[in-house]
Amino acid sequence: MELLVDILKTLAAVLVALGGVEGGKFLYTRKATRRAANSSAKMEEWNVAEKIQARYSSMLEDKNDKIEKLHTQIGELNGRVLGLTAEKHELQLDNKLLHMQKCEKRSCVDRKPPSDY
């Protein structure tokens, strides 16, 4: 009987040393509490990551719009350059033709070079 009393006293002393009933609750629920804290921390991290992703997504969309506008401008300028180049070549050909048809004499009766035109 004395042994049982000693064991109960020892258990009571250990229980009191651990914080009594609240210590027992803590030891029993510490994993669940840790899981709840971890899940709330993960949710906070997830929310922050979603905000960052949304911000970068909007920034990327803005950049893509700017790039699309620049590509449109480049296309317009390339078309303009192509048109001007074609016009330049036509003018060069007309100039060559005029040089070939140029009359070296003032009176065109004896035209030099003779023209079949």
- % the chain with pLDDT above 70: 80
The Cα-based distances of 112 to 4, 94, 106, 108, 117 in angstroms read: 141, 19, 10, 8, 13
Q: Do 110 and 117 form a contact (C-beta atoms < 8 A)?
A: no
Give the pLDDT confidence of 37-55 residue by residue, as tens digits.
888 888 999 999 999 999 9
The pLDDT assigned to 36 comes to 79
Mean pLDDT of the 25-38 span: 75
Looking at the chain, how many residues does it have? 117
Identify the burial level of 23 via C-beta atoms within 10 angstroms of its C-beta, where 0-12 means exposed, 13-18 middle and 19 or more buried: middle
